[in-house]
Amino acid sequence: MLVPGWGMSAEIWREQIAAFRGQRRVVSFDPRSQGDSSKVTEGNTPEARARDLHALLAALGLERIVLVGWSQGVQDVAAYVEQFGTAALAGVVLVDAPVSAGAQSVQARPQAAAQELERLAIYGAHPQAYARGMLRAIIRRPLPQPEFDRLVASLLKTPTSIGQAMLLADLFGVDRTPALAKLDRPTLVIAAASSPELEAQKAMAAKLPHGRIETIEDAGHAVFVDQPQRFNAMLARFLAELGEA
């Protein structure tokens, strides 16, 4: 189950869907208020999206699920584990983001919090320019212009006020770090080697009962877009390990 990041649709995982669909059952989706999903003015939080995810998994009747969450999707996975536990899971992959410590992170990391708030203000004032700039920042390899424009258009389907609310809830809404101790399934953290959050991700991996971290060179935040073959190889090895367990 591939969980997209902020503002993204399932299309962001196209390289992974293509690579694994012949070997595994691969599912992704547009989270609430993103892509082609319904836009709602309430519940744009990881906790509500976790309930959506739980309902989707139940409706599909899936078992031994491997949850793969990227960026905002890491918060959604943590919220899922906090609310529903790990009984349905075989393993978890957390991609290039630490689990949020909520509002206390403002005091712990004031400079980073100030930067996030500044970005929120820029996004509110100039959403299209922000979307283009953000995508260029998180995807390092040049994309064909039509593909890049599709990603921008998809991101802009989320109304700006909703997008701001989502980011605030993701970053500062809830301390989700207690979920790490409950994540009693094999967990792989995949991080960009140059990520500004690399140390935080290493610390997160160290707190996981069955966690480890692997890094990918020459990649931005969207590591699976920049280096799909390396990412897919890491994911394939992890899935094989789960099958042997």
Give tens-digit pLDDT for 149-161.
999 999 999 999 9
| Whole-number Å distance between alpha carbons of 94 and 238 | 12
66 pairs with which residues across the strands? 91
DSSP 47-84: HHHHHHHHHHHHHHT--SEEEEEETHHHHHHHHHHHHH
pTM: 0.96
User: Which residue shows structure tokens 């649709």?
Assistant: 9
Nearest to 164 by CA among 131, 193, 189, 195: 131
Fold exhibited by the domain 2-244: Rossmann fold (3.40.50)
How many residues are given for the chain? 245
Nearest to 70 by CA among 24, 16, 22: 16
Higher pLDDT, 22 or 192: 192
Q: Over the stretch 195-230, which tens digit does the pLDDT of each residue have?
A: 999 999 999 999 999 999 999 999 999 999 999 999
Q: Over the stretch 165-175, which tens digit does the pLDDT of each residue have?
A: 999 999 999 99
Domain ranges of the chain: 2-244
Q: Over the stretch 179-203, which tens digit does the pLDDT of each residue have?
A: 999 999 999 999 999 999 999 999 9
| Whole-number Å distance between alpha carbons of 95 and 219 | 12
